[in-house]
A and B are shown apart, each in its own frame.
Chain A
Amino acid sequence: MKNKIIFLLILNFGISLTSIGQTDTVPKKTRSNLIDISAGLATGSLRDMSTSPLFYTGLLPVIDISYSNFFNKNLIQFNLSSYNGIYIKLTDDDSYLSTANSINTEIAYFRHYEDYDETGFKHYPGVSLNNYTSIRVNSAFNNAAFAFDNISSLNINYLITKDFTLKAKQKKLLWLIKYYRKEKQYLASFKIGIPIYSLIYRPGFTNPGNLTLNNIILLPDYKTTGKVFSGMNTNLSLSRVLENGNMIKFTYHWEFFTSGKYALNRLDMSKHALLFSLVFKIN
C-alpha cells in the first residue's frame, strides 16, 4: 500500500500518457539547451465506454512546448502539450459532437548509448513519467455530458537520431532552371515509447457519479485503476539545422492508448499529429 502511494505521488508529479512533438532532436555537440515551440493538427479516434460504444473522430489543433537539456551523455526533456478541438460521430441519421481539451505533461530522461555510434546512428534509451488530463463535454449525454480522464504513466523509451548533410551542388529545377543548392544539415530522429504501467483515473461504474449529494465533490465516484502496457507512442521527425544552431522541424506523432479489454468503462484512443516546430538553441 505504501509503495502504491509513493508510486502515485511520483506519477502525479507531472506527467503524461503520451508526450507529443517533444524535442527528440539532439544537437550534434554535447551540452546544449533547446526550446521547441510547435503547432500542428491532430486527428484520431476515441471511444469512452462509460457513455458510448462508438468511436468518435477527433480534430484537434495542437500546441506543444518543450525544453531539452543535453549534457555529457544525458538528455533531460520537459514537455507540455495541449490539444483543444472536437470529437465528432456521424451516424446514419444524425451527428454527435463533443468538445475536447487536454493537457499532456512529461519529464523524460535519455542516456546516450555510444556503442553503436560508428553506424552513424545515435541511440538513447530512456524513461519518462507523464500525465494526460482531458476534459470532454458531449451535451447529448445529459447528466453524463462531462467526462474527465487523468492518466499517469511510467514509460520506457528509445530514441534514435541521425544527422546528415546534403552537400552543396549545382541543380536544375524541372530539368530547366539552374540553381545552386547550399550545403544543408539535417537531423532525423525516431522515438518509440511504451507505457509500462499506467494509473487511470476515470468514472466508476456509472457516469455521472452521485450528483445528488449536496456536499458535492468535484468528481464523485471516480476510480483509479492500474494497467500494464497500455499502448504505444512514436515520434518521427526531420529537422533542418540552421547555421546558428536553431532548427526547423517537422514531426509526425502517433500514439494509442487502451485501458484494456476488461477495464471498467473501457477507454480507447489514438492520435495522429503533424507538427511544425521552431527549435531555438538558447546556449
Chain B
Amino acid sequence: MKSKNIIYIFLAVLTFIVYFSSCEKMAFEKEIDNTPIENYDYLWNEVNEKYAFLEYKNVNWDSIYEVYLPHINSKMTNDSLFRVLGNMLNELRDGHVNLFSPFNLSRYDITLLGPVNINTRIIKDNYLGTDYYTTGSFVHNFINNGDIGYIRYSSFANSLITDYELDFILERYENTQGLILDIRQNGGGYVDNVQKLLSLFCNDERLLYETQIKNGPNANNFTLLESAYSNKTERDIYDKKIIVLTDRGSYSASSFFSVCTYAFDNVILVGDTTGGGLGLPNGGQLPNGWTYRFSITQTIAVNGQNYENGVPPNHTVILSDDAAETGIDNVIEFAVNLIKS
C-alpha cells in the first residue's frame, strides 16, 4: 500500500471521528430553552420535588404554580421574570430560599417576623465597656462586677472557631458564676462552628438532634431519621450556667445551636423565638444561568419537635423600650438574674 493511501485513510478516519463526535449531542438530552416559561417551570419543579418543607408549612405548591403562571410571558424582561420567580419562592416563607441574578437577590427576610431584640450601642456602652476582648469572632468581657462573663457572638460565618479561642475564653471566665452567650441577630454561617461552640460546655457524646433529607420527588419522601451527636473530646468545659440569648434574627446555624442546647440542663435559652432555618440549603442553576437555593433537610429536636419556623426560648424576654432608654438591656438583666438565682 502506498504511503499516500495511508494518509488518505488516516484523513478518512479523522473525518469519521469528527463527524461522529459532532453527533455526541444526539446522545445528550437537548439543553432546556432559556425562555421565561422554561425557567419558571424548571424552578417550580425543582422546589416541588426537592424542597423539604412543603408539607410541614402546608404550602399548596400546585396552586402557587397557577397563581404566578399568568405573570409569565415570552416578552417579559429579566427584571420582571426575576420578580415573579422571587415572589413565588417567597411563598415558602423561608430565609434559606434565595434566587441570585447578576442584578438582584431575592430573599424572605425572617428578621421582620419579630422585633430586633438587641441594641448593640447599649451593650457597648453599658456591658462590654471599652476594654472588651476580641478573640476570633467572640467579643467578650466581665459584667456584673466580674461575676458573669458576657460573650457576644454575632456570626457563625466570620471564621472557624479554634480550640485556642475556646481555651482562652474558658480560662478567662473559669471563676465566674455563669456565662451569657449572646447570639441575637446572628444570621448563621458554618455548621461546623455549631459543633465547635458546643464544645465550650460539652465534651461527651450525646444526642443533639435527628435529621433527614429528601430522597424522592414526593413531598413526604425522606430518608430515615439519623441522629446527630456531639463530639466526645478530652477538653475542659464550662459546666456552670450558660444563658443563650436569641431573637428572630438568630437564624440557621444559630437555630441549630439553639436546638442543640435543649440537650443540656445547664444551658438556657432566653429572649425571642429564633428565626428557624433548620433545613440545609442546596444550590442549583436555572436554564438562564441564575442560581437558587432552598432547604432539603429537616431537623428534629431531642424533644421530637420540628422547629423549622423558629426555636422557642425557655424564657421569652423582649427588649423593653423603656429599659433601653435608661441604657439597660432587660434581656441581659434577666439572664443575669437567672444565673444569680
Chain A residues engaging chain B, CB cutoff 8 angstroms: 45, 47, 51-55, 89, 91-94, 96, 120, 140-145, 162, 164-167, 186, 188, 190, 204-215, 221, 231-232, 234, 236, 238, 252, 254, 256, 258, 261, 266, 268, 270, 272
Q: Which residue on A lies nearest to B78, using beta carbons? A: A93
Let me know if B283 and A252 touch, CB within 8 A: no
Query: Does B297 reach chain A (CB closer than 8 Å)?
Result: yes
Q: Which residue on A lies nearest to B208, using beta carbons? A: A214
Let me know if A142 and B27 touch, CB within 8 A: no
Q: Which residue on A lies nearest to B29, using beta carbons? A: A261
Given A141-B283, A165-B3, CB of A213 within 8 Å of CB of B289: no
Binary flags per residue of B111-138, CB closer than 8 Å to A gives 1, else 0: 0000000000000000000000000000
A92–B103 alpha-carbon span in the complex (Å)? 12
Interface size class of B (residues with CB under 8 A): 35 or more
Given A120-B1, A214-B195, A266-B29, CB of A91 within 8 Å of CB of B284: no
Query: Does B216 reach chain A (CB closer than 8 Å)?
Result: yes
Which residues of B have CB within 8 Å of A52? 284-285
Given A51-B283, A54-B289, A166-B3, CB of A212 within 8 Å of CB of B228: yes
Q: Which residue on B lies nearest to A165, using beta carbons? A: B3
A240–B269 alpha-carbon span in the complex (Å)? 77
A252–B16 alpha-carbon span in the complex (Å)? 12
Which residues of B have CB within 8 Å of A140? 100, 283, 285, 291
Which residues of A have CB within 8 Å of B262? none
A140–B17 alpha-carbon span in the complex (Å)? 35
Q: Which residue on A lies nearest to B103, using beta carbons? A: A93
Given contacts A145-B283, A188-B9, A206-B214, 5 further A-B contacts (CB under 8 A): A89-B289, A142-B281, A142-B283, A209-B213, A213-B211
A-B residue pairs, 7 tightest by C-beta: A91-B289, A141-B283, A142-B283, A144-B283, A52-B285, A210-B213, A268-B28
Let me know if B21 and A256 touch, CB within 8 A: yes
* Interface CB pairs A-B, < 8 A, 28: A47-B28, A51-B284, A55-B28, A55-B31, A91-B289, A92-B34, A93-B78, A120-B1, A140-B283, A142-B293, A188-B9, A205-B216, A206-B50, A206-B215, A206-B282, A207-B283, A210-B211, A210-B212, A210-B297, A211-B191, A212-B191, A212-B299, A214-B195, A221-B215, A234-B20, A236-B17, A256-B28, A268-B28
Let me know if A51 and B293 touch, CB within 8 A: no
Query: Does B230 reach chain A (CB closer than 8 Å)?
Result: yes
Which residues of B have CB within 8 Å of A231? 27
Q: Among B27, B42, B211, B215, which residue has its beta carbon within 8 angstroms of that of A204?
A: B215
Which residues of A have CB within 8 Å of B50? 205-206
Given A92-B289, A236-B14, A272-B21, CB of A212 within 8 Å of CB of B230: no
Query: Does B156 reach chain A (CB closer than 8 Å)?
Result: no
Q: Among B14, B231, B282, which residue has its beta carbon within 8 angstroms of that of A207?
A: B282
Let me know if A141 and B212 touch, CB within 8 A: no
Distance of B230 from chain A, by nearest CB (Å):
7
Let me know if A268 and B29 touch, CB within 8 A: yes
B49-106 CB contacts (< 8 Å) to partner A: 50, 78, 100-103
A266–B31 alpha-carbon span in the complex (Å)? 12
A263–B131 alpha-carbon span in the complex (Å)? 60
Let me know if A258 and B6 touch, CB within 8 A: no
B1-48 CB contacts (< 8 Å) to partner A: 1, 3, 6, 9-10, 13-14, 17, 20-21, 24, 27-29, 31-32, 34, 42
B274-313 CB contacts (< 8 Å) to partner A: 280-289, 291, 293, 296-297, 299
Which residues of A have CB within 8 Å of B6? 162, 164, 186, 188
Distance of A227 from chain B, by nearest CB (Å):
12
Let me know if A164 and B3 touch, CB within 8 A: yes
A206–B28 alpha-carbon span in the complex (Å)? 21
Which residues of A have CB within 8 Å of B21? 254, 256, 270, 272
Distance of B306 from chain A, by nearest CB (Å):
13
A53, A89, A92, A165: which has the most chain B beta carbons within 10 Å?
A53
A278–B78 alpha-carbon span in the complex (Å)? 52
Query: Does B175 reach chain A (CB closer than 8 Å)?
Result: no
A231–B20 alpha-carbon span in the complex (Å)? 12
Let me know if A92 and B285 touch, CB within 8 A: no
Let me know if B17 and A215 touch, CB within 8 A: no
A54–B78 alpha-carbon span in the complex (Å)? 18
Distance of A206 from chain B, by nearest CB (Å):
5
Binary flags per residue of B214-231, CB closer than 8 Å to A gives 1, else 0: 111100010100101111
Let me know if A211 and B287 touch, CB within 8 A: no
A55, A143, A254: which has the most chain B beta carbons within 10 Å?
A143
Given A52-B284, A91-B288, A204-B215, CB of A221 within 8 Å of CB of B223: yes
A35–B9 alpha-carbon span in the complex (Å)? 27
A162, A164, A190, A238: which has the most chain B beta carbons within 10 Å?
A164
Query: Does B238 reach chain A (CB closer than 8 Å)?
Result: no
Which residues of B have CB within 8 Å of A188? 6, 9-10
A186–B5 alpha-carbon span in the complex (Å)? 13
Let me know if A252 and B282 touch, CB within 8 A: no
A45–B283 alpha-carbon span in the complex (Å)? 21
Query: Does B257 reach chain A (CB closer than 8 Å)?
Result: no
Query: Does B256 reach chain A (CB closer than 8 Å)?
Result: yes
Let me know if A141 and B14 touch, CB within 8 A: no
